[in-house]
Amino acid sequence: MAPPVATETYTAPTQYTTLKLRGTPSEVPAAVLAAKVAPEPVPAAKPKSSQPELAEYTYARYLPAFNANEHYPPLEPFTHSDPGLRALAVSPNPEDPLPFLQSAESVTELTPELGTEVRGVDLSKLTSDGRDQLALLAARRGVLVFRDQGNFINAGGDAWLEWGKHFGRLHIHPTSGHPDGIPQIHLVYRDGQATFNYERSDRISSLVWHSDVSYELQPPGLTTLFLLSSPDTGGDTLYGSQVAALRHLSPPFVSFLRTLKAVHSGVEQANFSRSGKRGGVVRREPVEHVHPVVRRHPVTGEEALYVNSQFTTRIVGLKKEESDNLLNFLFDHVSKGGDFQARAKWARNTVVLWDNRICVHTPVVDFGPSGQRRHGCRITPQAERPAPAWDGLELSDNSLI
């Protein structure tokens, strides 16, 4: 497997937990046989409850691995070239059909405000132009659900990385599990006895509305998620449009929000892992960054609310009570926004993509009692530093944190 990204110093893992597969060598996936075997493995978390089934599990090579010795330096800024902008140059009119959908069997809007479901388009065969058009469609519709993507999913790790690199620099998650040797693939994983997700058992609801890793200086843009294994029912993903959420607010209030910036923090997520949960590793020190409360999408020009309940901790410049009440109001507004949400129901060979700049999302962990496995892969390209909707908002440094 190639090193992660050219802009980072990559320390090759030497002490990964190795999966203990039953069977003869000929029955063991080649990718697992090729993986480096540590001479002195360090203790690391893994989904123990699945071990008896590993030999039979088709996607055992993509189970989460956690290596306590895997560390990365801080991310460096980079220049993002947006694929949606390239497509916009040839397809500026939203009413015109995008060429990559010409062969589609069906294109269905999930809800008026958010989400489009597509059948009959094989993502694994998309050209470079087709991928750009897909990014443009995601910028316009927020969420895209593609069915029958067995070719894409079974193409495997190298193909997934090649796909993701088209849309931006691939992010390596600081705390989540990744397949052994593929740190750019963020894994979600839960079965009957173990979870390696960010899940809070002390909450009334399993919902945690968020925008992925918004604490980064350049948070992700077009994001791809698919499940290798899913429960028979449940485990859906809910999405919310931050464009529509903003539009539902009154003009004077939106004018005020445009003047604000907020702190997004990765500290709590890192502390969650440091407490021993989710595999217990922190590969990169947590960061905090200031982003505009209302950002402007670089392709559509649309304004979107950009705060989320998982990572946004306070509004810069407001008193604590003002900040807490304002953020809680916005989080409440988004979570209750059934008229600008969409629900992605997973099915075999489904791939969901979303523009992380204009959507929030949350898994629904309602399948726990079934004991069934939910195992997914996320490909997470980073995009531009969020641009404020109001040009007068100063974001030059983090000095106010």
Active-site residue set? 210, 212, 361, 378
Element (H, E) at 329: helix 320-335
Residue whose C-alpha is closest to residue 210's, from 187, 202, 219: 219
Instruction: Decide: 4 and 161 in contact? Cβ < 8 Å.
Output: no
Distance set, CA 91 to CA 3, 94, 96, 141, 300 (Å): 35, 7, 7, 15, 12
- Choose, by CB under 5 A, the member of 212, 216, 303, 384 that binds Fe ion: 212
* Per CB under 5 A, 8 contacts Fe ion: no
Distance from C-alpha of 239 to C-alpha of 52, rounded to nearest angstrom = 35
Interface with Fe ion in residues 333-352 (CB under 5 A): none
Q: How far is the CB of 319 from Fe ion (least distance, A)?
A: 31
Helix (H, G, I), strand (E, B) or coil at 91: coil
Q: How far is the CB of 212 from Fe ion (least distance, A)?
A: 4
Nearer Cβ to Fe ion, position 133 or 223? 223
Q: Give helix 83-90 / helix 128-141 axis angle, nearest 10°.
A: 100
Distance from C-alpha of 189 to C-alpha of 277, rounded to nearest angstrom = 13
- Quick one: which segment of 86-94, 125-133, 210-218, 253-261 binds Fe ion (CB under 5 A)? 210-218
In the chain, the amino acid numbered 65 is: A
Tokens of 376: 């997914």
Q: How far is the CB of 308 from Fe ion (least distance, A)?
A: 10
- Quick one: which segment of 99-107, 209-217, 270-278, 321-329 binds Fe ion (CB under 5 A)? 209-217
Q: How far is the CB of 210 from Fe ion (least distance, A)?
A: 6
Q: φ, ψ for residue 212 (rounded to 5)?
A: -55, 135
Nearer Cβ to Fe ion, position 46 or 171? 171
Q: How far is the CB of 391 from Fe ion (least distance, A)?
A: 30
* Residues that contact Fe ion, how many (by CB under 5 A): 1
Nearer Cβ to Fe ion, position 57 or 306? 306
Which residues are at the interface with Fe ion (CB under 5 A)?
212
